[in-house]
Amino acid sequence: MDGVGFVNGAGFMTDGASSERRRVAVNAKERDLKKVKSVEDYLKVTRKDTFSVMMFVAPNCKACDSMTHHLQALAEQHPDKEFYEMNIHENKPLAKSLGVESIPSFHFYTLQDNAPGTLENFATSSARNLESKLAEYKHGKFDVQHYRFA
């Protein structure tokens, strides 16, 4: 995944040679994301009895940096959910086994019958897209029984 680049992301735009940037304002207080640094950390996250959002990032990824700020603001707006960040370069085998092929990528996790399950798995550099997907899972507004987990 070295050399991955993004164009027209939520946090910046570039036409290749020039590096013109457009910042998206985030008017909310930011909450730090919890770092997932190992398989053991990942297993703890996915076995929690809470709705968890995992963002997969890489160093020097400008779209990842932008989305980190948006996710921190969303974490402040959604205190009923847990928000995490995993560096794919520190966890290459795990990221690969989870199907992470581009960054930033997001997984939404929850428990069903005391077993971990993935509700969503998607890549985006659009803050609007992330907010829209997260809004589908408002506290008490979705029934985990409607989802099938492998």
Alpha helix stretches (DSSP H) within 2-100? 39-46, 62-77, 92-97
Predicted confidence pLDDT, tens digits, the chain (150 residues): 333 333 333 333 333 333 323 333 344 455 679 999 999 999 999 998 889 999 999 999 999 999 999 999 999 988 889 999 999 999 999 999 999 999 999 999 988 778 888 888 999 999 999 999 998 887 656 666 665 554
Q: What is the pLDDT of residue 57?
A: 98
Q: What is the pLDDT of residue 116?
A: 83
Collapsing DSSP to helix, strand or coil, 18 comes out as coil
Collapsing DSSP to helix, strand or coil, 68 comes out as helix
Domains along the chain with CATH numbers: 34-144 (3.40.30.10)
Q: What is the pLDDT of residue 127?
A: 94
Q: Report how far residue 12's alpha carbon sits from residue 42's, in angstroms, rounded to the nearest whole number.
A: 30
pTM of the model: 0.74
Q: What is the pLDDT of residue 112?
A: 78
Q: What is the pLDDT of residue 46?
A: 92
